[in-house]
Amino acid sequence: MSARLLLLEDDPAIARTVAYALQRDGLAVTHSLLVHDARQQLQGARFDLLVLDVGLPDGSGLDLLRELRNAAPTATLPVLMLSAHGEEIDRVLGLELGADDYLAKPFSPRELAARVKALLRRAGHGGSNGNGNRNRNGQSAAVAPLFHDDEAGQRISLRGQSLPLTRREYRLLSHLLRGAGRIHSREALLAAAWGDDSESTDRTVDTHIKTLRAKLRELDPAHEYISTHRGMGYCVDVQ
């Protein structure tokens, strides 16, 4: 079955070009001109990936992205952001809000199609509205069979072996796994694991990531699961 994509883009010419490039690769594309229309589409249909423009007449794609990431059914739905702004701060903001990829205008339709296909492969193509990434108990299924996250018991296992994690380490790794393949900023990880603890810093995150890597390496020395993206944050690779 073809992957279903929702394209939020207010420029008809760009939308036609993007839709044509994606449809040539066998993808089913639904186009919305406004944020309001996209919200309605998301309520009435199931999608495997979203392509969201940032600047729109009735709001911002970033606002919609924030809503999606704060709602359980769409928390892990792959999202690629489009924007006329190519500055680093704009890219970082989009990624910190939970975007899986970011492409600045003008862009090559072929490059966009290639990035979309890469995101679908990473997601396993089948996570409609993000539901395919989590099982009925709210445990991560997208990372199986490598990782199993028992949220109720706050335990994570790697390849069937339980990891000896502290409470903070569990929160860090669980947050990374929920957005596997996505870059998480130190600020986002700090908020996820420490909340409002004002004494914790970015350095605290780095220290705990180092410990997590060591514990993961003890169970699987051949694979480095947590990668560092300089100036941006950390990412878990579960492929």
Q: Which residues contact 105 (CB under 8 A, 6 or more apart)?
A: 14, 82, 83, 84, 86
pLDDT on residue 69: 85
Whether residues 16 and 77 fall in one domain: yes
Residue 175 · residue 189 · CB < 8 Å: yes
Q: Mean pLDDT, to the nearest integer, of 69-98? A: 79
Whether residues 123 and 39 fall in one domain: yes
β-strand 147-150 against 155-158: which pairing, if any?
antiparallel
Give the CATH number for residue 27.
3.40.50.2300
Give the CATH number for residue 202.
1.10.10.10
Domain range for residue 212? 136-236
Compute, in degrees rounded to 10, the torsion defined by CA atoms 69, 71, 74, 75.
40
Whole-number Cα distances in Å, 6 to 45, 62, 78, 99, 220: 10, 15, 11, 15, 38
Quote the pTM value.
Answer: 0.56
pLDDT on residue 137: 39
Q: Mean pLDDT, to the nearest integer, of 201-227? A: 91
Helix (H) or strand (E) holding 38: helix 35-44
Whether residues 149 and 123 fall in one domain: no
pLDDT on residue 79: 92
- % of the chain exceeding 90 in pLDDT: 33
Cis peptide before 106 (omega within 30 of 0): yes
Q: Which residues contact 5 (CB under 8 A, 6 or more apart)?
A: 22, 27, 28, 29, 30, 47, 48, 49, 50, 51, 116
DSSP letter for 125, please: S
Per-residue pLDDT of 104-155, as tens digits, reads 888 888 889 888 988 888 777 643 344 344 443 344 444 445 888 888 788 8
Among 29-38, 59-68, 135-144, 181-190, the range scoring the smallest mean pLDDT is 135-144
Whether residues 196 and 150 fall in one domain: yes
**For residue 196, what pLDDT band results from cuts at 50, 70 and 90?**
low
Q: Which residues contact 101 (CB under 8 A, 6 or more apart)?
A: 79, 80, 81, 115, 118, 119
Mean pLDDT, the chain, rounded, equals: 82
Among 41-45, 89-93, 161-165, 166-170, the range scoring the smallest mean pLDDT is 89-93
Give the best-scoring range by mean pLDDT among 27-36, 65-74, 80-89.
Answer: 27-36
Residue 124 · residue 76 · CB < 8 Å: no
Domain boundary among 132, 159, 180: 132
Q: Which residue has the tokens 């109720």?
A: 152
Instruction: Give the chain's domain count.
Output: 2
Q: Is 121 exposed, middle or buried (0-12, 13-18, 19+ CB in 10 A)?
A: exposed
pLDDT at 188 over 80: yes
**For residue 101, what pLDDT band results from cuts at 50, 70 and 90?**
confident
Per-residue pLDDT of 217-238, as tens digits, reads 999 888 899 999 888 889 887 6
Whether residues 127 and 172 fall in one domain: no
Q: Which residue has the tokens 């003890």?
A: 218
Residue 41 · residue 30 · CB < 8 Å: yes
pLDDT at 52 over 70: yes
